[in-house]
Chain A
Amino acid sequence: MTKLYNEPSPLETRVLTKRFGLPNSASLDTYLATDGYVAIRKAIEMTQDDVINEVKASNLRGRGGAGFPTGMKWGFVPRSSPKPKYIVVNADESEPGTCKDRLLMEYDPHQLIEGMMIAGRAVDAKAGYIYIRGEYRYLIDIMDKAIAEAYQRGYLGKNLFGSDFSFDCYTHTGAGAYECGEESALLESLEGKRGVPRIRPPFPAVVGAWQCPTILNNVETFCAVPPIIRDGGAAFAALGVPKAGGTRLTCLSGHLNKPGVYELALGFPLDKMINEVGGGIPNGRKLKAFIPGGSSCPILTAAECEGLTMDYDSMANAKTMLGSGGVVVMDDTTDMVKVALRIMRFYAHESCGWCIPCREGTAWLRKILTRFVDGMGTKQDINLIGDLAHNMLGRTFCPLGDAAALPTISIVEKFRDEFEAYLARTTVSIPVQSDLPVLQPGM
């Protein structure tokens, strides 16, 4: 048994993680012994439209954070284009709270390779690149080893399984930049440039890597494809809820007795996830705040969490997002002002600097929040934080600006009393102008 990072839970639905814990789970032999490379053979026999339709039928939605329907994305690739087409895997996992793609590559690299191959078969792509964040160097070694093994034994390369289908696969390392998790910035980075996003449209499906049509998906999205083709889209869809099929690798972190990565069916009850899968909050403390899928999501209060399920629609109804699968649980001792500051320090550090509302907004918010935590906040600052964040919304080319603004707005609105409590502790008296000329009120 390979050592796992955390004990599995009996409440899991293990589809993508079914090989986790098997002896030598990363080896080709283990993969072959457990339905490996069955789906690609099947996909080669199918028409390209049928492969895409099967993915559509699975109701698989992108697992990186945006939740876009995968089959539809694949359908946007102009197969008749004379240009070469490419498959690119987003393994730049860096959304705070998220640590699942790491395990999919560490324990089951061949599943990812097979998912890429099926995507390649669906859109006539002959090469795929796995963009792995720089911090995950050990995964480059694991993936390279798996790729070499696949070439050696005829699972990658030319005329695979006696067909006319050929596929090459490569790894590519990043070098530390959250922004490169955004698809167009990732492509810039893959091309050897600064990770600054592109103006879209055109989307990568039409103009992607090296100006060619490209399928770009998250690791988990590609890993879901072999089970979908092998067992049928309908079977995968049935695991989830009506508009979102399958399972979700959910990374539980924060104040929990049993944090860990668990594969849960979409629509899993939030309360059960915290208290049974995650083992509840330590020391009998109560839930205070909840991040459903990475720090870019609006934060929920304990009251708002009641009755919610972990799926796209339920989260949208609660005015937040399912996001990247990074669940962060905060107990009633958590200082929300400090959380707001820490989140903003992150976005200010990671803003690529292209769009002014994001570059200046995040830095300015970081300054104000730092001042608050240092005991030098003023009453006007509370509104200013909200105003500034609102001014960033929808005014940037990529979602990083929104990602910084949304959690901040939610914290300042839902935990305003904590900001006010900080004021009571303010030690330094600061002369306050009655109307600061920094922003038009009510904008």
Chain B
Amino acid sequence: MTFSPELEEKFARLLTIYPEGRQRSAVVPMLMFAQDEVGHVTPELIEEIAKRIGIPTVQIEEVVTYYSMLHQKPMGKYHVQICTNVSCMLTGGTELWERACQKLGIGHLQRTGDGQISLEEVECIGACSWAPALQVNYDFHHNVTPEKLDEILEACRKVN
């Protein structure tokens, strides 16, 4: 597989920052940074990372299936993650989640037909004091109102 020069640089660095012989430590960061570029964790990506680190593919597969941010199927260009954990639930997070599902006609870990937006109901994202909160890819949105949610979704629909 070929990656962008920026990702190659990150990979090269990740293979040097852990103690000698402990390069397996780079598995999670490599998968995360690669997913950002590739879109999701593909079998080819797993093989490529296994080859670069020098470990069996099964040791990557068991990691991929454990962590909730690693996706084995394509998510939308904009992955909208809405928190409904306690602090968000108390301040309207559940309603935001239901509204988003209804507006887009999709559910948890599904994406719209055009591949533009996907939805995920997530556990606490660490924005409790500014609840309800959501993340679009890695960007935080705090104190989200239903109107603000509509604007966020509208923006995700439009931008190319």
Residue B8 interfacial (CB < 8 Å): no
- Residues of chain A lying within 8 A (CB to CB) of residue B29: 172-173
Give bound CA distance, A191 to B69, whole Å.
18
Using a CB–CB distance below 8 Å, which chain A residues touch chain B? Answer: 5-6, 84, 93-99, 101-102, 127, 133-138, 170, 172-178, 189-195, 210, 251-255, 259-261, 291, 295, 326, 328, 330, 334, 338-339, 342-343, 346, 349-350, 352
Using a CB–CB distance below 8 Å, which chain B residues touch chain A? Answer: 17-19, 22, 24-29, 31-33, 53, 59, 62-63, 66-70, 84-87, 89-91, 123-131, 135, 138-140, 142
Contacts A195-B66, A254-B91 known; 10 new A-B pairs at CB < 8 A? A94-B124, A102-B126, A136-B126, A175-B31, A178-B123, A192-B25, A192-B28, A253-B128, A259-B128, A259-B129
- Residues of chain A lying within 8 A (CB to CB) of residue B53: 192
- Residues of chain B lying within 8 A (CB to CB) of residue A98: 124, 126, 128
Contact of A252 among B125, B126, B129 (CB under 8 A): B129
Q: Which 7 A-B pairs have the closest CB atoms?
A: A176-B69, A175-B67, A192-B27, A192-B24, A176-B68, A253-B87, A253-B128
- Residues of chain B lying within 8 A (CB to CB) of residue A96: 85-87, 123-124, 128
- Residues of chain B lying within 8 A (CB to CB) of residue A174: 28, 67
Contact of A210 among B19, B31, B62 (CB under 8 A): B19
Contact of A177 among B27, B62, B68 (CB under 8 A): B68
Contact of B125 among A135, A191, A194, A255 (CB under 8 A): A135
A177 (CB) vs chain B CBs: closest residue: B67
Q: Smallest distance from the beta carbon of A107 to chain B beta carbons, Å?
A: 14
A254 (CB) vs chain B CBs: closest residue: B90
Give bound CA distance, A240 to B31, whole Å.
43
Q: Are A5 and B129 in contact (CB under 8 A)?
A: yes
Give bound CA distance, A101 to B127, whole Å.
11
- Residues of chain A lying within 8 A (CB to CB) of residue B124: 94-98, 178, 346
Q: Smallest distance from the beta carbon of A207 to chain B beta carbons, Å?
A: 15
Most buried by A among B25, B31, B87, B140: B87
Give bound CA distance, A184 to B78, whole Å.
34
